[in-house]
């Protein structure tokens, strides 16, 4: 039997992915239909279609979204099934990686709070995309495709994080605290606290950073601010990871692996849609709407 919390999370995630897939793939389907009907009256193909920055397709995004939902179901199920580990079975500090051992027993309440609020940074890529759309540098199609890709990447990296953390490779640093607030937190810790590897905050932060940088680079390839946007995004993401270490929530290894996972998932989702972009091209301008399929 699944818990009520599990059901709620699953239903919310499923609804978001399905709604995003329907909303943002529907225009693609309509363009295909429009292109088919309108091109029946014209045998001459368009030689210079207007390029799109991003593309989504039913063939790619429906299976991808369903795969993410199923992975998320498994991840949430295992994550909320994690149990506490008795002190006698707790991994000794000596078994931690050498560079992680000095951080065992650390805890900081303020760093924990600040790192949680860092989740607000997730609006950055969508805010930038919305601004580009508002300014006319991108269109609604690009904004919709980008939003769907971002939702897919965030959901996928979260699902993978929960699957890995549920293996309980080693506990969070504060579990080793002997006194103070850290000890109190350790005594009331739930099962998830015994799976520190790897950092979900760092993974999500670098997912956001990469999407922000990629959007800006795609829409404004010749901008003098491109390096600044990338540097700022990655610095903020690194700061989130550092806060998780200071908070006693993760070890440096957790943060490094989390940053690599977030970056990898982001680039993977973007690359999949880049391939889609090369294989399927849609265009629309006065007097002609159509599509070209490349095989």
State if pTM tops 0.95: no
- pLDDT of 113 reads 93
Domains identified in the chain and CATH numbers = 4-42+53-83+96-279 (1.20.144)
Residue 191 φ/ψ, nearest 5 degrees: -60, -35
- pLDDT of 51 reads 52
* Cβ atoms of residues 289 and 234 within 8 Å: no
Q: What is the radius of gyration, based on Cα positions, of the chain? A: 22
- pLDDT of 211 reads 93
* Cβ atoms of residues 80 and 165 within 8 Å: no
**Position of tokens 């002609």?**
288
Low-confidence stretches of the chain (pLDDT < 50) are 1-14, 16-50, 280-295
- pLDDT of 275 reads 61
Tokens standing for residue 40: 């029946």
Q: 142-147: long-range contacts at Cβ-Cβ below 8 A with a sequence spacing of 24 or more?
A: 142/52, 142/53, 142/54, 142/219, 144/23, 144/24, 144/27, 144/56, 145/24, 145/52, 145/53, 145/54, 145/55, 145/56, 145/273, 146/53, 146/54, 146/211, 146/215, 147/20, 147/24
- pLDDT of 284 reads 38
- pLDDT of 20 reads 46
The pLDDT tens digits for 229-242 are 999 999 999 999 99
């Amino acid at each position: 039997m699944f818990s009520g919390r599990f059901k709620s999370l699953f239903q919310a995630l499923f609804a978001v992915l399905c709604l995003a897939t329907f909303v943002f793939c529907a225009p693609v389907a309509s363009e295909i239909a429009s292109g088919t009907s309108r091109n029946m009256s014209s045998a001459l193909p368009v030689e210079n279609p207007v390029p799109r920055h991003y593309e989504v397709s039913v063939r790619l995004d429906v299976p991808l979204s369903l795969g993410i939902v199923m992975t998320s179901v498994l991840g949430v199920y295992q994550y909320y099934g994690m149990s506490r580990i008795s002190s006698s079975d707790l991994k000794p500090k000596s078994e931690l990686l050498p560079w992680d051992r000095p951080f065992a027993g650390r805890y900081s309440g303020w760093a924990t709070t600040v790192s949680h609020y860092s989740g607000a940074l997730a609006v950055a890529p969508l805010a930038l995309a919305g601004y580009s759309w508002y300014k006319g540098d991108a269109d609604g199609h690009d904004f919709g495709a980008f939003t769907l890709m971002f939702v897919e990447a965030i959901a996928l990296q979260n699902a993978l994080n929960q699957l890995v953390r549920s293996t309980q490779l080693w506990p969070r640093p504060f579990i080793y605290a002997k006194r103070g607030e850290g000890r109190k937190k350790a005594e009331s810790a739930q099962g998830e606290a015994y799976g520190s590897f790897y950092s979900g905050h760092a993974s999500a932060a670098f997912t956001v950073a990469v999407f922000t940088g990629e959007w800006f680079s795609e829409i404004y390839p010749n901008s003098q601010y491109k390096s600044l946007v990338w540097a700022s995004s990655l610095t903020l993401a690194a700061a989130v990871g550092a806060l998780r270490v200071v908070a006693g929530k993760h070890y440096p290894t957790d943060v490094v692996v989390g940053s690599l996972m977030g970056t990898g998932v982001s680039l993977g989702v973007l690359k999949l849609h880049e391939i889609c972009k090369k294989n399927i091209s849609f265009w629309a301008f006065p007097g002609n709407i159509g599509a070209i399929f490349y095989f």
